[in-house]
Amino acid sequence: MEFSKHNILSPIKNSSNWVLINLLSGNADIIEAEVAQKLQQGDWTQNEDLLAKGYLVDPESEKKLFNQKYLDFLDERDSDEIQIFFVPQYSCNFSCSYCFQEEYDWSKSPLKDEVLDAFFNYIDSTFAGRRKYLTLFGGEPLLPGSSHQQKISRFLKMAKDRNLDVAVVTNGYSLSEYIEVLKIAHIREIQVTLDGPEPIHNQRRTPKDGKPSFNKIAEGIDLCLKNNLPVNLRAVVDRENLSSLPALAEYAISKGWTQNPLFKTQLGRNYELHNCQVGGASKLLSRVEMYEELFAMIHNNPHFLEFHRPAFSISKFLFENGELPAPLFDSCTGTTTEWAFDYQGRIFACTATVGKSGEVLGTFFPDITRHEEIIAQWEERDITSIPECKECPVSLACGGGCTAVAKNRTGQILSTDCRPAQKLIELGVSLYFEKPATIESTSIGNS
């Protein structure tokens, strides 16, 4: 018997206890430091419990279990819903300090009807029989003005004709003017960004006309909720605004948003995707730094959890569901359950690559073309094909990370974007299981 190579054994932040997790067997336990030390020293003789929970394994049997779960993962993914992004233009009415699309080709020629027709023809045939939904992305998809509104109306009518749900990723500035237009289709979610309370948000997310945007966006959120349009409020986080997030949470709570079942939140990390950030990279937080700062901030501001519960790798899932998530063989959805298309007739893997020269995977207009070799590499990339991931103890929590980030770093699709899964679990288990703040105490679950 061996100590499973998929065991994650970590001290828990601010605790004398440790956590032992195995995503392949689906078990998680909080253990005493003394037991953890014995395990680290290889002292596990006669421990039936460790055997029963798959922490001690026969390597051959574990390999079979790994292969079985991998096949299950591939099967499930084949029937998963596909998210299809469409960019009606790259132009935007904001000039946010951190926008990664600044360098893109903002061709002024607007979206043509024949391109939109070709887009729907392409997805009708390519994704026939697959569950799917559409997401409007930009640039800013909800630009003011009647010609933009007409194009978005046409898009939504074509989606409705096919019974396809639509999500929208918007800066929220023109939401109020778009409420009636949005009602044309079934809207799954409007993702709107507020980067902090009013003064912080207004500093970071400035419309090109120089006017403050916070109150207009908040008004749009109120109107969406009043009209039964679900809102996903996103904050893009870096050193400049992290400490102001409790104030944003207070604002959302005071507006009654957090009590509304149509309202949810998300935190995005500001990171250097394609080009240098205005103000330099010094304001950017690494993934570990962001979660460390969030951990400290939540301890001082427990009300924040009413607004948002950060994932801390698998910790939040375990806390909310009482069991571990399925092993993550592939954390990147690009070309498997996600695609992105733009108004210039081009096809990309996802939102991180859409519009970026050198990342085009094909065209749907004027002709259909596909770079099959590159697409095959994207499809193939997971923890079984990236050499470093094969022996990595946190691979089933990490899933190989983001292909776009990995490729930016190494030039190779089959390369790593390492996620600090162990560190995040140390923090998350402490937050959700050892020292719950406003949340009730609970014991860690096994599946």
Is 383 a binding residue for ligand SF4 by CB under 6 A? The answer is yes
DSSP secondary structure, 97-164, as one string: TT-TTTTS----SPPPHHHHHHHHHHHHHHTTTS-EEEEE-SS-SS-SSHHHHHHHHHHHHHHHHTT-
Question: Cα–Cα distance between 53 and 68 in angstroms, integer?
Answer: 17
Nearest approach, Cβ of 414 to ligand SF4 (angstroms)? 11
120: CB partners within 8 A, 6+ apart: 158, 162
Select the span of 79-87, 188-196, 228-236, 387-395 touching ligand SF4 (CB under 6 A). 387-395
Query: Cβ of residue 131: shortest distance to ligand SF4, in angstroms?
Result: 18
Note whether 402 binds ligand SF4 by CB under 6 A.
yes
Could you tell me if 414 and 381 are in contact, meaning their C-beta atoms sit under 8 angstroms apart?
A: yes
Cβ neighbourhood burial of 252 (10 Å; 0-12, 13-18, 19+)? buried
Check binding of 398 to ligand SF4 (CB under 6 A).
Answer: yes
Taking the complex as a whole, how short is the minimal distance between the CB of residue 334 and ligand SF4, in angstroms? Answer: 4
Are 104 and 342 spatial neighbours (Cβ–Cβ below 8 Å)?
A: no
Residues 113 and 147 sit within 8 Å (Cβ to Cβ): no
Binders in 217-236 for ligand SF4, by CB under 6 A = none
* Number of shown-chain residues binding ligand SF4 (CB under 6 A): 24
Q: Does 350 bind ligand SF4 (CB under 6 A)?
A: yes
Of the pair 138, 334, the CB lying nearest ligand SF4 is at 334
Cis upstream peptide for 256 (omega within 30°): no
Identity of the residue, 361 or 392, whose beta carbon is nearer to ligand SF4 in the bound complex: 392
Residues 258 to 317 in contact with ligand SF4, rule: CB under 6 A? none
x-marked contacts with ligand SF4 along 140-179 as a string, rule CB under 6 A: ----------------------------------------
Only one of the segments 70-78, 301-309, 332-340, 431-439 lies at the binding site for ligand SF4 (rule: CB under 6 A); that segment is: 332-340
Maximum separation of any 2 CA atoms in the chain, in Å: 74
> What is the DSSP code (8-state) at residue 393?
T
What is the closest distance, in whole angstroms, from the C-beta atom of residue 160 to ligand SF4 in the complex?
26
Closest C-alpha to 225, from 259, 266, 276 = 259
For ligand SF4, the closer of residues 167 and 404 by Cβ is 404
Q: Which one-letter amino acid corresponds to residue 378?
A: W
CB-based contacts of 292, cutoff 8 Å, min separation 6: 427
Q: Rounded CA gap, 181 and 177, in Å?
A: 8
Among 189, 338, 359, 382, binds ligand SF4 (CB under 6 A): 338
Closer residue to ligand SF4 in complex, CB, 148/381: 381
Burial class (CB in 10 A: 0-12, 13-18, 19+), 334: buried
395 touching ligand SF4, by CB under 6 A:
yes
- Restricted to residues 416-445, the positions that interact with ligand SF4 (CB under 6 A) are 416-419
- Which of 401, 414, 424, 430 binds ligand SF4 (CB under 6 A)? It is 401
Q: Interface with ligand SF4 includes 400 (CB under 6 A)?
A: yes
Nearest distance from residue 77's CB to ligand SF4, in Å? 13
Please give the single-letter amino acid code of residue 284: L
Q: List the one residue from 83, 277, 333, 430 that touches ligand SF4 (CB under 6 A).
A: 333
Min dist CB 35 to ligand SF4, Å, is 25
Beta strand 56-57 with 2-3: parallel, antiparallel or unpaired? antiparallel
Specify the residue, 201 or 423, whose C-beta has the smaller distance to ligand SF4: 423
Q: Which of 332, 354, 360, 425 binds ligand SF4 (CB under 6 A)?
A: 332
Asked if 293 and 246 count as a contact pair (C-beta separation under 8 A), the reply is no
Q: How far is the CB of 255 from ligand SF4 (least distance, A)?
A: 30
Residues lying near ligand SF4 in the complex (CB under 6 A) are found at 332-334, 338, 349-350, 352, 383, 386, 388-389, 392, 394-395, 398, 400-404, 416-419
